[in-house]
Chains A and B, each alone.
Chain A
Amino acid sequence: MSTFFDRILGREKRSARQAKDRLKLVLIHDRIDMNPGTLETLKDELIEVISRHVDIDPGAVHIKMTQDGRQQRLIADIPINPSGRRRSRKNV
């Protein structure tokens, strides 16, 4: 139970908001029949394959599932390190 102060200070979301956020996640995984663990594995494998060809920072990779109507979309944001960075690191 949230107090009035919790609410005005934004410390706790209303229960409808929580329900919607939780549902959103559950539906994404239900629809593609993939659990959160498999998505992590997919992310690791994707990073490994791309790293073979270009220099990327694994920590900066964002892979997420989004909803577009009743369609699910896998969005990958993979920033590529500038080619000069490797060389400059070697120089240090």
Chain B
Amino acid sequence: MTNKVITITSGKGGVGKTTATANIATALAVDGARVVCIDADIGLRNLDVVLGLENRIVYDLVDVVEGRCRLRQAMIRDKRLPNLFLIPAAQTRDKTSVSPSDMVRLIDELRTECDWVLIDSPAGIERGFRNAIAPADVVVVITNPEISAVRDADRIIGLVEAEEKGPVRLVLNRLKPELVKREDMLSPDDILELLAIELIGIVPEDEKVILSTNRGVPIVLDGKSQAGQAFRNIATRLAGQNVPFLNLEDRNGFFGRISRMMRSGGD
């Protein structure tokens, strides 16, 4: 498998990068893979709390880059899954303490250690974002069905393509099917037409995500949550398997059409 380093980015803040990273990583680990996720948001770390690992941090990403510890020492093992690890961001430093080439070097070392590396990118298009995409094999752009989030996603896709990083995949997060049905929310069809990139997941709005973040237990571990199922499907698709899109609407709605399209479209 060559596509093992996945960077999750969005441009706009607050669209769900960290939640997506935690959940996709957890889903891949549940399936038995050895997964390392990295919080690249130096100065504003959060992946640790979403995964519920905030009390275990000793060393961070900057400590590894500056040689204060070995890579293994900065890898925090998950409480529930022994094959899931987190390398947290430094909280008291800024993004310039790491360079894109530092990231490439560090991730090259990790490639031999594990099946998947997931990088949680900071918002914005500056140094932190450049650091996060430098080592990526696949870039997952996450957006919400809102005009500002889609605009920023388009900008990010343009920048990633200009750097010849790829492939780029889209996750549409926090979709409200009832609002789309009322034609008061951009539909997946609308967004795909405008962004013109391949869709890898649609995650419906689910208030259980808030509860799971409160507890520090990723939603993919909740077997009944629709959002959890959507994240599990994204993980499966990243691993190269075709799974139909969730039927969030009736079969003749666009969700039905998209899922049928994906099924008949082969790979």
Interface residues on B, range: 20 to 34
A30, B154: Cβ atoms closer than 8 Å: yes
Decide if A31 is an interface residue (CB 8 Å cutoff): yes
Among residues of A, the one whose C-beta sits closest to the C-beta of B157 is A70
Indicate if the CB atoms of A16 and B190 lie closer than 8 Å. yes
Tell which of B187, B196, B197 touches A16, judged by Cβ atoms closer than 8 Å.
B187
Chain A interface extent, by class: 10 to 19
User: Residues of A contacting B146 with CB < 8 Å?
Assistant: 19
Is B243 an interface residue, CB under 8 A from the partner?
A: no
Q: Mark A38-75, 1 if CB is under 8 A from B, else 0.
A: 00000000000000000000000000000101100000
B190: chain A residues within 8 A (beta carbon): 16, 19-20
Q: B179-220 interface mask toward A, CB cutoff 8 Å, 1 = contact, 0 = none?
A: 010111111001000111100000000000000000000000
Whether B154 contacts A14 by the Cβ 8 Å rule is: no
Known pairs A31-B158, A70-B161, A70-B196; A23 contacts B184 (CB<8 A): no
A30 in contact with B151 (CB, 8 Å): yes
Docked Cα-Cα span, A55 to B62, in Å, equals 67
Least CB distance from A76 to B in Å reads: 23
When distances are taken between beta carbons in the complex, the residues of chain B under 8 Å from A23 are 147, 150-151, 186, 194
Cross-chain contact B155 with A24 (CB below 8 angstroms): no
B155, A16: Cβ atoms closer than 8 Å: no
- Please determine whether A16 and B151 come into contact, CB atoms closer than 8 angstroms: no
- Tell me the interface secondary structure of chain A in the complex: helix
The number of inter-chain residue pairs (CB within 8 angstroms) is 47
A24's nearest neighbour on chain B, judged by CB, is B194
Do A15 and B155 contact each other (CB < 8 Å), given the known contacts A70-B161, A70-B196?
A: no
Shortest beta-carbon contacts, A-B, top 7: A14-B183, A69-B196, A16-B183, A70-B196, A20-B190, A15-B184, A19-B147
Interfacial residues, chain B to chain A (CB-CB below 8 A)? 146-147, 150-151, 154-155, 157-158, 161, 180, 182-187, 190, 194-197
Sample (27) of A-B pairs whose CB atoms are under 8 Å apart: A14-B182, A14-B183, A14-B184, A15-B183, A15-B184, A16-B180, A16-B183, A16-B184, A16-B185, A16-B186, A16-B187, A16-B190, A20-B186, A20-B194, A22-B147, A23-B150, A23-B151, A23-B186, A23-B194, A24-B194, A26-B147, A27-B151, A27-B194, A30-B151, A30-B154, A67-B196, A70-B196
Other than the given A23-B147, A23-B186, A30-B151, 12 more pairs (CB < 8 A) read A14-B182, A15-B183, A16-B187, A22-B147, A24-B194, A26-B147, A27-B194, A30-B155, A31-B154, A31-B158, A70-B158, A70-B197
